[in-house]
A and B are shown apart, each in its own frame.
Chain A
Amino acid sequence: MDTASIASSAQERPKWDNKVQYLLTCIGFAVGLGNVWRFPYLCQIYGGGAFLIPYLIALVFEGLPLLYLELAIGQSLRKGSIGVWHSISPLLGVASMIISLLVGLFYNTILAWVLWYFFHSFQEPLPWSVCPINENRTGYVQECVDSTPVNYFWYRQTLNITPDIEESGTLQWWLVVCLASAWSIVYICFIRGIETIGKAVYVTATFPYLVLTIFLVRALTLPGATDGLRYLFTPDWTLLMDPQVWLDAATQIFFSLSLAFGGLIAFSSYNPKKNDCERDTLVVGLINSATSLYASIPIFAILGFKATSNFNSCINSNILDLTNAFDIGETNITMENYESWLTYLNTTDPDKVSGLNLKHCELQNFLDQSASGTGLAFIVFTEAVIEMPGSQVWAVLFFIMLFSLGLSSMFGNLEGVLTPLLDLHLVPKWMPKELFTGLICVMNFLVALIFTLGSGNYWLEIFNSYVGSIPLLVIAFCEIIGVVCFYGMNRSVHSLNTTQSDRLKTKKLKKYFYKEPLTEWFFVEPKMVLLWHRCKEPFKHLYF
C-alpha cells in the first residue's frame, strides 16, 4: 500500500458498520418523545380507534413519500443537507441545519429535566409524593397545600418558575448541573460521529421497547386499566367529519417522522450507493407508527388506573366525612352501599349532609384529565407511579426510557448539524473530529442555559411553537418542489433505478411521485394556513 492510497483513505466518507446500525439509528431518530406523549393524547381526544384512519392515510400519502425522498436523496448524492440542495438552493440546506441546531437546544433541555426526575427516583418516599414541611414545622408549605405535591415538585422544586416571561429569574444551579450531564452524555455518544452513534443506538433504540413491554405487562394487571383502554380506543366516527382531526393527523405524522431536519439525509449519506432505500423507508415508517400504537396501550392503561384510584379516594373521603359526621360504625358504609346510605342520610338529615360539602365523584371526569407533552410525563404519570407498588422501580424505568427515546432523537438533530459542516469543509484540517464535536456540544450547552432560568419553560414553549413547526413544513414543501420540478422526475427515478432493477417498481414510483405534489399541496397548504392561525395561541404540546 503506498502513501497515496493511505492519504485518500483518510478522506474517505465514514460508513455504517452494518445495515442494522443504520436502521436502528433512523428508527431511533424517528421514534422520540412524541410517540409516547403526543400520539396517545391525540388518539384519545379525536375519538380513539377512529383517529387511526386519518393517521394511516397521512402516513401513506404524506409520511412515507417524504421519508423516501430524504433517504433516497441523501444516499444517492452522499452529502449532508447543504450539499444535497446546493444545486437547487443552498438556503434550503442552511435552513435545515439551523432548525436542527435550534431544536437540539431545547430538546436536550427536556432531557435535562428527565435526568433530574431520574436522579430523584432513587429516594424513599418519592419527593413528589409528599409536600415538604415548612420552616416552623407547624404544617406543610402553603404553596404545596394549595396545589398538589406533584405540581409543586414540577413547578417550584424543578423549574422554580417565575410568574411570566418578563421576569427572567436566575440560573437554577440544579438545572445547570442536569443540563451539563445531559450534554456530556450526548457528547460521549456523538464523539466520533456515526462510529460511536452506531454503537450507542444498539442500546438507546432498543431499550425503550423493553421498558414499554415491562410497563405493558404491569399496566394490564392494574385495577382500572381496562377503563383507560376502553376510553382510549372507543371509536367516535362522527369526529372524522372535523377537518381539524385530519390536520392534526397529518401534522403528527410529519413531526413524528422527524422530516426536514436534514438528519435523515445525513444518516443515509453514509450508506453504500446500492442500498435498497425503498425497503428502509417502509421499515422506518411502519415501525414508527407501530411504536406509537404500542406505547399508547400501557400509557392509557396506567392513566385508567390513575383515574380509578383518584375516583376511589374521592369516594372514600366522602365516606369518611359521612362516617365522622354521623358517628356511624366504621366500615358500615362501603363503596358499594355508598349511594344507598347517602340517599338515606339525605332524607333523614339533609342540612347536615349539605353542610359537609361532599365532593362530586365521577370516573369520567378523572378519565378526562389527560395531558400531553411535559404535563403527561412530569405531572400525570408521576402521580400514577406513586400509587403503584414499588414506585421507585417504575419511576426509574420510565425516566430511563424517556431519556433513551430523547437521546436517539438528539443524535439525528446533531448529525443534521455536523454532516453539512464537515461536507462544506468548514472544519479546519488540524482539528480532530472529537474536538469539533466537543466544541459544538459546549456551545450548545452555553446557549441552552437560557432554558435553565426561572422563565426557561416559557422560552422553551416559544422555541417549540415557532421553530419546531412552521419552518419544517416550509422546508418539506420546498424539498418536494425541488425534487419534482428542478431535479427532474425522470432523473431522480433514473438514479434510483440503479438501486432497483425492477421495471414494474420504477413505473409505480413514477406514478407515486407524480401524485405526490398534488397530495402534498392538498395537505400542506391548508395545514400552513391553519397553523398560522394557531400561532396566535401558545402551543402547549410537544410533537417530537
Chain B
Amino acid sequence: MLAGVLLLIFLPPLVAKDLCKDSQDGFKVRLSIKTGLGDDAYEWNESEMFLFRSTLAYAMRKHSNQDTYTIDNILVCNDTQRVSFVFVVTSTDDPDQLIPKEQVELAVRQNKHRINNAFLLSDMTLEFMGIPPTLSAPIIYDTEPWLIVFGVVIGAVAVGIVALLMSTVSKKRRAKEKAAGLSEEDEGIVKENGTALSSLGRKEGVYNQAFSNDDRFTKL
C-alpha cells in the first residue's frame, strides 16, 4: 500500500523527467543575459524559470486558442550553468502526450517578440535552437534617401550655374552699353574743333553767368 502510494507520488516527476530528457519534441533554449544586458543583468533563478514557463504556456494558449494550458504543461530539464535548458510541452488532455515539435515551433515564432520582451532580450540573446529568427521587414522608402541628397546637391549646382551665366550676360551687356556711350563721346570730339568737350561729358554747354540776360536790371 505504502509502496503504491510512494510510486504514485514519485512517478509523475520521474516520468516527466523522462518525457523531457528522451523526447524528440523538445527544444534547447539558450539565454545570454550578461551579453544582452551588461550591468543591468539579472540573476537566473527559479523565479525566472517560472516566468519562462508561464510565457511559453501563454504562447501555447495563443497559438491553439485553448485556455487550458497551464504552467504544469511546460517541462524543463538539462539546466546548465550557461543558462541553457531543454523544454517540452505536454498536451492538456493527456499529461503523457507531448505536443509535436512543429506546433511548438509555430507557437514560439508567432510570439517570439512577446517572449523576448518578457526577458528584456533579443533574438540574438534568447535563442531557441532550431527555430530561426524572423527577419524584420526591410524598410521601404517612398523616395530613397540618397536621391534626396542628390536632388539637393544638383539643385544647388544648377542655381549656381544659372547665376554665373546670368552675371556674365549682364556684365557683357553693361560693357556693350559703356562701349556705345564712349563711342558717342569719341564722335563728339571729332566733330568739334579739337576742343576737349569730352570733359563736358554729355552736357550741351556751360551757362556763363557773365553773359546773363538780366543786364536790364543793372543799377545804373
Name A's B-contacting residues (CB within 8 A): 1-3, 6, 115-116, 118-120, 122-123, 132-133, 137-140, 177-178, 181, 184-185, 187-188, 191-192, 196, 323-324, 327-331, 432, 434
How far, in Å, is A137 (CB) from chain B's closest CB?
6
Q: Which residues of A contact B153 (CB under 8 A)?
A: 115, 119, 181, 185
- The answer to whether B183 and A122 have CB atoms under 8 Å apart is no
**Which chain B residue has the least Cβ–Cβ distance from A2?**
B186
**Which chain A residue has the least Cβ–Cβ distance from B82?**
A327
- The answer to whether A196 and B135 have CB atoms under 8 Å apart is no
The docked-state distance in angstroms from the alpha carbon of A192 to that of B135 is 54
- The answer to whether B182 and A331 have CB atoms under 8 Å apart is no
The docked-state distance in angstroms from the alpha carbon of A331 to that of B32 is 9
Q: Which residues of B contact A324 (CB under 8 A)?
A: 30, 82, 84
A122's partner among B34, B35, B149, B160 (CB-CB below 8 A) is B149
B165: Cβ under 8 A from any A Cβ: yes
- The answer to whether A184 and B154 have CB atoms under 8 Å apart is yes
**Which chain A residue has the least Cβ–Cβ distance from B163?**
A188
**Which chain B residue has the least Cβ–Cβ distance from A10?**
B175
How far, in Å, is B68 (CB) from chain A's closest CB?
33
Q: Which residues of A contact B35 (CB under 8 A)?
A: 330-331
Q: Which residues of B contact A185 (CB under 8 A)?
A: 153, 157
Q: Kindly supply a per-residue 1/0 record for chain B positions 152-189, scoring 1 wherever the CB is within 8 Å of any chain A CB and 0 otherwise.
A: 01100110110011001000100000010011001000
User: With A137-B135, A330-B82 as given contacts, are A181 and B145 in contact (CB-CB < 8 Å)?
Assistant: no
The docked-state distance in angstroms from the alpha carbon of A328 to that of B161 is 67
Count of chain B residues near A, Cβ 8 A = 32
**Which chain A residue has the least Cβ–Cβ distance from B154?**
A181
B146: Cβ under 8 A from any A Cβ: yes
User: With A3-B179, A187-B161, A188-B160 as given contacts, are A329 and B145 in contact (CB-CB < 8 Å)?
Assistant: no
Q: Which residues of A contact B137 (CB under 8 A)?
A: 133, 137
Q: Which residues of B contact A137 (CB under 8 A)?
A: 135, 137-138
- The answer to whether A120 and B146 have CB atoms under 8 Å apart is yes
User: With A119-B150, A122-B146, A137-B137 as given contacts, are A330 and B34 in contact (CB-CB < 8 Å)?
Assistant: yes
Q: Kindly supply a per-residue 1/0 record for chain B positions 80-98, scoring 1 wherever the CB is within 8 Å of any chain A CB and 0 otherwise.
A: 1111100000000000000
A327's partner among B84, B145, B147, B183 (CB-CB below 8 A) is B84
- The answer to whether B150 and A327 have CB atoms under 8 Å apart is no
Q: Which residues of B contact A331 (CB under 8 A)?
A: 34-35
Q: Which residues of B contact A187 (CB under 8 A)?
A: 161
- The answer to whether A184 and B83 have CB atoms under 8 Å apart is no
- The answer to whether B154 and A327 have CB atoms under 8 Å apart is no
How far, in Å, is A55 (CB) from chain B's closest CB?
37
B33: Cβ under 8 A from any A Cβ: yes
- The answer to whether B138 and A329 have CB atoms under 8 Å apart is no
**Which chain B residue has the least Cβ–Cβ distance from A196?**
B164
- The answer to whether A184 and B158 have CB atoms under 8 Å apart is yes
Q: Which residues of A contact B84 (CB under 8 A)?
A: 324, 327
**Which chain B residue has the least Cβ–Cβ distance from A332?**
B81
- The answer to whether B157 and A184 have CB atoms under 8 Å apart is yes
